[in-house]
Amino acid sequence: MVAELWPGVPAAWSRYVHVPSTAAVDRPGTHHKWHLLDNAPDLEARGVEPAGTLLCVHGNPTWSYLWRTLAAAGSTAERPWRVIAVDQLDMGYSARTGTFRRLADRISDLSDLTTALELDGPVVTVGHDWGGIISLGWALAHRSQLAGVVLTNTAVHPAGFSLPPALRLALHPAVHGWGTVSTDAFLRVTHALAQPALAPEVRRAFAAPYRGTPRRAGVGNFVADIPADEAHPSYRALTRVAEGIRRLNVPALALWGPKDPVFSDRYLRDLIGRLPHADVHRFEGAGHLLPEDRDIASPVFSWLQQNVSAPSATAGTTAASSAETGAAQVPFRPMLAELDERSGDDSPAVVDMAPATSGGDAAAPAAPKVLSWKQLAVRVDALAAGLAGIGVRPGDRVNLLVPPGIELTSLIYACLRLGAVVVVADAGLGTKGLSRAIKGAGPQFIVGIERAITGARLFGWPGQRILAGEAAPLRRRLLGVEHTVSELVQAGTGQPVPDYRTDPDADAAVLFTSGSTGPAKGAVYTHRRLAAMRDTLKETYDLRAGSSLVAGFAPFALLGPALGATSVTPDMDVTAPRTLSARALADAAAAVNATTVFASPAALANVLATADELNAAQRAALAGVDLLLSAGAPIPEALLSRVQLLVPQAALHTPYGMTEALPVTDISLEQIRKAGTGNGVCVGTAVAGARVAIAPLAEDGSAGTGLSDAADVTGEILVSAPHVKDRYDRLWITEEHSSSVPGWHRTGDVGHFDADGRLWVEGRLGHVLTTAAGPVTPVAAEQAAESVPAVRLAALVGVGPAGAQVPVAVIEPAGGTRRAGPADQETAAAVRNAVAAACGLDLAAVLVLPQMPTDIRHNSKIDRAALGDWAAKVLAGGRISAPGARR
């Protein structure tokens, strides 16, 4: 057994080095005793030559122990790295020098150490907290050795902001000495930031070098050396490093815990601005002590393998290139081309249905608001000029929190005109989800209705605030509103629009997923890929200029002008699909003589539920529809058949796709009927320009990198198309997995092809049960359970350890219930028999709930993770209470 000095640290790693000092604070001839952790003995024992050295620098009040997982991973990696984790002077187990060491001294100290160690390249610096700026200072001074930089939760230039409250408190004269030196309060507060809490033995290890007031002088000095303003002695050194890294062209990786009360996302945005080529990953839920909160060793060594081979290496990316996905081969037609060509056209372009009238005859709706192509072009240009006038530039992110309609359409195309990046994350994510998304995207500007701007003020969302609407001067001041959309239009009217010549492969939009399978992810689209989405829809569904469409599904509400189609937004909350009534849909169709309707399954379900309210004129308007598309979730054939009665002349299609690639496949109602029943939901064949493949499932339920197009092979669904997202935003680890098969996007869905080449979706990869007999996908069993008349909704979950899970059905009764727990014998027997007959699965239990926990936006997407936890507790004899959806 390997002897450990501290938990996770072999005794062989710990060593001391006597180093001559060249720091200005020290007298000539001064030597200091440094402590460091060095995994070189492990590498020597293996007889391997390291690929390079990770030089790891801790912050305050931690020590080299923070990097023990990197040292361990470097020792055992297939491509091993030497890891040298230092204890800075006056910190950890290094010497207490009796001098106040400022930033410049500490950078000099680190250089002295590496000289004494005769450290040669390639070297990758790793820094956390104040160790970040010190490691970067060393990097700038040793460019010939430098192969890359890794940073976790640090501040590159904190003087650009007011200090966080925690640091202001620590610097206060009444608190500083007592809180950082006389007592261990500063240490205890820092250790308490871990998410989750540190194990007691780990907390003791972190505290061990700082027992006793004399051992904590460096802790206090570190805090006092924070350059809070330009008068601070370390300000110049900090600025020199912060500005110097703008010229670093080596690979860079930033790993971040956004729940950090000290170094929040604003410091990450500052860092990205200085190292724009850096790969970034934000670990939602993690905080200041990121190396303790999450496994950072695996992504660091994966990143090193892909990006760092020698000091001359340049930044790389794991995202599939445009050439690999075929995006570069597609002729590029800008998103505004159609609007520009029709800028003199007086026919309607965008129509907003007015809010429903209160009282009176609902069959006589208020007059809609209409903007012609000519008026839309003028408004877009005026808005673009107005936005440019307040500083919006190419690459700037503009978060739009405005409902679909004329205002949102104008804002989107004005941003695209300027080359600004549109950030779209709707209120359906919920307050917490929306806040996570906006802070993660880090927009420079935020445009929203008053409710959204109130949220920005309340939750501290980043970005200069622009109100879509009007408010009294006092209200504006309270909300921090600097401009209104109407003011920007007025200021920009008649002014020239800057021509920034936007690169087709520059970022155009960050579109957030629904968050139904975890925190919402931002999918980044370039101008080329966004245009490819438009072109795929146009070619697949023959959507030509002159078409007129009802956009009852938020993603399609944005594409009308780009398609050259007149678009109308019905009277509904598009973030809550069930607010679309049959009357609202029919009135919208009548307003533009609609030929096409986009709507989600949840919206169509409510349309059917309210269809009896339609009058003759409204039914006639729906009868004129030629094409109806329903996307966002699987839709039963029975429901589609009922919809067909409302739109008797329309071809009904259900595209399959996701925020990252929409659409992927398509199937019509006739084709659904022809396919019949099977294992999952039949979603048809690939749309124009797309390819689909299957990565077969292993026995443990995982999917590898081999691809198949054979029939009846179940696995993860992969897609390759010009309109697939460019990458996930600031989620390098997620993107690495997503694009681990070059040129393909891993969807996270599982399915198979049938003998006719049609794709069937069997569920989500994360919902696959790993039973003793092998992996089991959930959808077939759920469909079988829902065939029982007593069942409205069903979900299949696994209970037990991986590899030995048992299947459990959780149902929501068709007749309703107030209780949660085991189903009655009759219902349970019917569900068991139906599932066994359909897919040969023997259910371990059938449980009942009054209502399924569902995703906030898509109530057809059941939260199976929450259900699985609940089912396990029920079967273990725990308290029976309904589960809540995970957010």
Which single residue is written with the structure tokens 């796709």? 657
Per residue in 744-774, pLDDT (tens digit) is 999 999 999 999 999 999 999 999 999 999 9
Tell the burial category of 328 from Cβ atoms under 10 Å away from its Cβ (0-12, 13-18, 19+). middle
* pLDDT at position 322 over 60: no
Helices (H), 14-126: 40-46, 68-76, 103-116
* pLDDT at position 168 over 70: no
* Beta-bridge partner residues of 279: 253
Neighbours of 122 (CB within 10 A): 21
Q: Residue 602 has what pLDDT? A: 85
What predicted TM-score, i.e. pTM, was given to this entire model?
A: 0.92
Tokens encoding 447: 């445009």
Delimiting residues of CATH 3.30.300.30 domain(s) in the chain: 770-875
Q: Residue 310 has what pLDDT? A: 46
Which single residue is written with the structure tokens 């460096």? 218
Q: Residue 401 has what pLDDT? A: 95
Tokens encoding 331: 């002729």
107-115 average pLDDT score: 98
Tokens encoding 849: 């709930």
Torsion-angle region of residue 98: left (phi > 0), alpha (psi -120 to 50) or beta? left
Q: Residue 356 has what pLDDT? A: 42
Range of lowest pLDDT (203-212, 365-374, 461-470, 874-883): 874-883
Percent of the chain with pLDDT over 70: 92
585-604 average pLDDT score: 93
Question: Cα angle vertex 88, ends 85, 93, to 5°?
Answer: 85
- Contact, 376 vs 407, CB < 8 A? no
- Report the relative pairing of strands 445-448 and 464-467 from DSSP bridges: parallel
At 167, is the pLDDT very low, low, confident or very high (cuts 50, 70, 90)?
A: low
Question: What own/partner pairs with CB < 8 Å and gap ≥ 24 does 644-647 have?
Answer: 644/669, 646/582, 646/607, 646/608, 646/611, 646/619, 646/622, 647/597, 647/622, 647/623
- Contact, 447 vs 399, CB < 8 A? yes
User: For the residues of 200-258, what is the DSSP string, one character each?
Assistant: HHHHHHHHGGG-SGGGGHHHHHHHHT---STTSTTHHHHHHHHHHGGG--S-EEEEE-T
Percent helix / strand / coil, the chain, rounded to 5 = 40, 20, 40
Q: Which amino acid is at 391?
A: G
- What CATH number does domain 681-764 carry, 2.30.30.30, 3.30.1180.20, 1.10.10.10, 2.30.38.10? 2.30.38.10
* pLDDT at position 100 over 60: yes
Q: Which of 436, 407, 434 is nearest to 264 (CA)?
A: 436
Which single residue is written with the structure tokens 């022809």? 674
**Can you tell me the distance from the alpha carbon of 106 to that of 633, in angstroms, rounded to the nearest whole number?**
56
- Contact, 165 vs 260, CB < 8 A? no
Q: Which of 637, 558, 529, 546 is nearest to 595 (CA)?
A: 546
Q: Specify the CATH class of 13-307 in words.
A: alpha beta
* Residue of higher predicted confidence among 750 and 860: 750
CA torsion 439-444-448-453 (nearest 10°) is 60
- Contact, 584 vs 570, CB < 8 A? yes
**Can you tell me the distance from the alpha carbon of 560 to that of 180, in angstroms, rounded to the nearest whole number?**
60
Q: Residue 688 has what pLDDT? A: 92
Q: Residue 178 has what pLDDT? A: 74
Tokens encoding 156: 């590159």
**Can you tell me the distance from the alpha carbon of 346 to that of 232, in angstroms, rounded to the nearest whole number?**
62
Q: Residue 428 has what pLDDT? A: 77
User: For the residues of 162-185, what is the DSSP string, one character each?
Assistant: PPPHHHHHHHSTTTHHIIIIISSH
* Beta-bridge partner residues of 745: 719
Q: Residue 479 has what pLDDT? A: 97
At 54, which helix (H) or strand (E)?
A: strand 53-57
* pLDDT at position 345 over 80: yes
Residues near 514 by Cβ (< 8 Å), separated by ≥ 6? 428, 429, 520, 659, 855, 857, 858, 861
Q: Residue 359 has what pLDDT? A: 36
CATH of domain 770-875: 3.30.300.30
428-454 average pLDDT score: 94
**Angle formed by the axes of helices 406-418 and 373-389, nearest 10°:** 60
Q: Which of 1, 139, 111, 15 is nearest to 71 (CA)?
A: 15
For the chain, the distance separating the N- and C-terminal CA atoms, rounded to the nearest angstrom, is: 43
**DSSP-derived secondary structure letter, 73:** H
At 453, which helix (H) or strand (E)?
A: helix 450-459
Delimiting residues of CATH 3.40.50.1820 domain(s) in the chain: 13-307
**Can you tell me the distance from the alpha carbon of 434 to that of 457, in angstroms, rounded to the nearest whole number?**
14
At residue 560, φ and ψ (nearest 5 deg) are -50, -60
* Residue of higher predicted confidence among 231 and 147: 147
**Can you tell me the distance from the alpha carbon of 518 to that of 59, in angstroms, rounded to the nearest whole number?**
31
Residues near 579 by Cβ (< 8 Å), separated by ≥ 6? 572, 573, 606
**Angle formed by the axes of helices 430-441 and 450-459, nearest 10°:** 70
Per residue in 489-515, pLDDT (tens digit) is 999 999 999 998 889 999 999 999 987
**Can you tell me the distance from the alpha carbon of 378 to that of 390, in angstroms, rounded to the nearest whole number?**
19
Q: Which of 160, 152, 98 is nearest to 296 (CA)?
A: 152
What's the whole-number average pLDDT of the chain? 91
Torsion-angle region of residue 395: left (phi > 0), alpha (psi -120 to 50) or beta? left
**Can you tell me the distance from the alpha carbon of 135 to that of 827, in angstroms, rounded to the nearest whole number?**
65
- Contact, 129 vs 153, CB < 8 A? yes
**Can you tell me the distance from the alpha carbon of 731 to that of 735, in angstroms, rounded to the nearest whole number?**
6
Radius of gyration of the chain (CA): 30
Helices (H) and strands (E) in the chain, counts: 32, 38
At residue 557, φ and ψ (nearest 5 deg) are -65, -15
* Residue of higher predicted confidence among 178 and 289: 289
At residue 339, φ and ψ (nearest 5 deg) are -65, -40
